[in-house]
């Protein structure tokens, strides 16, 4: 996962042979410019959103799973808290986004919330603080089924990253949130103070540009390819030279042994000749 990365590249598949609950599904390949959805849950999929009434069995274009909401909305229980232990980025959390009148013309009611996996929220908070003067805050675990939940489905003002991340505000109530399908743009309009808020636009822009996504593997430049070719060629050449030296050494050992036998005679033959000559000498001395 890469913050501020461009994304893209080829998608891959989760191994079917593994014990992963989503084995066989594709992930990755989506680009940063495709990260925005709408206010409808299930929006923001660059590919794989054939059935707009459910998010079940969908791929993961940006490498992460979608959020889940209460009452198994759009079959989102498929990605529920039972799988938090293996969810990319960790469990779903939320964090308040507040600023001060020193930097923006805001009221006390203008508070937004970022909702997403914990590991995406932590570095993103640094970007919020840096660019939008957000008051630093620590993420809290999100419980979509809690009756007193701070954020509800109807409060979402924008989905990102294939509905795996959202900006929300308790001051907004989208009455069409549970009746619309994921490819619609129908929603309750934002309140005027929110629609034209520089603070909201700043938070929205940072989320769009800095939210972590699966990045592409960097492609090799012609120079890199040439260097790689030289390296591989060098490895093969060195290997061939070592093999040739080993062969020459073995040949020299064999030739040395043969030359030694030719020059000095075979030790086994010489020993036999010596014994036979000793026998003859003994016979000559004692006929």
Average pLDDT, the chain: 85
**pLDDT value, residue 18:** 74
Joined tokens for residue 197: 């808020």
38 contacts 188 by C-beta, under 8 angstroms: no
Furthest-apart CA atoms within the chain: distance in Å: 138
Among 9-23, 28-42, 108-122, whose mean pLDDT is lowest? 9-23
Q: What is the pLDDT of residue 265?
A: 57
Provide the pLDDT confidence category of residue 253 given band limits of 50, 70 and 90: low
Whether the pLDDT of residue 79 is over 60: the answer is: yes
Q: Which residues pair with 26 in a beta bridge?
A: 13
User: What percent of the chain lies above the pLDDT cut of 70?
Assistant: 76
Q: Which of 2-16, 147-161, 215-229 has maximum average pLDDT? A: 147-161
d(CA 133, CA 103): 7
Q: What angle do CA 165, 168, 171 make, to 5 degrees?
A: 175
The SS3 of residue 221 is coil
pLDDT band at 1 (very low <50, low <70, confident <90, very high): confident
pTM of whole model > 0.85? no
Give the pair of three-digit tokens for residue 7.
């994304």
- Average the pLDDT over 146-167 and give the result: 96
List for the chain the helix, strand, coil content (%; round to 5): 40, 10, 50
Number of H helices, E strands in the chain: 5, 7
pLDDT at 62 over 50: yes
At residue 73, the pLDDT reads 95
pLDDT digits (tens, 9 = 90+) for 184-198: 778 999 999 999 999
Q: What is the mean pLDDT of residues 20-38?
A: 94
Cβ atoms within 10 A of the Cβ of 277, count? Answer: 10
- What was the pLDDT predicted at 236? 45
Judge whether residue 269 has pLDDT over 70. no
Nearest to 73 by CA among 141, 165, 144: 144
The number of beta carbons lying within 10 Å of the beta carbon of residue 183 is: 14
């Amino acid at each position: 996962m890469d913050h501020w990365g461009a994304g893209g590249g080829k998608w891959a598949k989760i191994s079917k042979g593994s014990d992963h609950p989503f084995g066989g599904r594709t992930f990755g390949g989506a680009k940063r410019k495709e990260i925005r959805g709408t206010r409808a849950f299930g929006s923001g999929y660059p590919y794989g959103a054939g059935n707009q009434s459910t998010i079940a069995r969908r791929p993961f274009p940006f490498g992460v799973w979608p959020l889940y909401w209460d009452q198994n909305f759009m079959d989102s229980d498929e990605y529920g808290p039972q799988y938090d232990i293996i969810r990319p980025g960790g469990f779903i959390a939320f964090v308040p986004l507040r600023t001060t009148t020193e930097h923006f013309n805001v009221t006390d009611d203008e508070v937004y919330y970022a909702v997403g996996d914990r590991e995406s929220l932590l570095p993103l908070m640094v970007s919020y603080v840096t660019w939008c003067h957000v008051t630093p805050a620590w993420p809290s675990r999100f419980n979509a089924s809690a009756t007193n939940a701070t954020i509800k489905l109807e409060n979402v003002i924008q989905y990102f990253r294939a509905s795996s991340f959202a900006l929300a505000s308790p001051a907004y109530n989208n009455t069409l949130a549970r009746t619309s399908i994921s490819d619609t743009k129908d929603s309750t309009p934002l309140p005027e103070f929110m629609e034209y808020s520089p603070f909201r636009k700043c938070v929205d822009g940072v989320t769009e540009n800095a939210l972590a996504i699966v990045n592409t593997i960097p492609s090799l430049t012609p120079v890199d390819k040439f260097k790689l070719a030289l390296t591989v060629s060098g490895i093969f050449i060195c290997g061939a030279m070592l093999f040739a030296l080993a062969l020459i050494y073995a040949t020299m050992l064999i030739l040395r042994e043969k030359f030694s036998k030719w020059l000095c005679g075979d030790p086994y033959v010489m020993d036999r000749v010596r014994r036979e000559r000793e026998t003859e000498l003994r016979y000559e001395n004692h006929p």
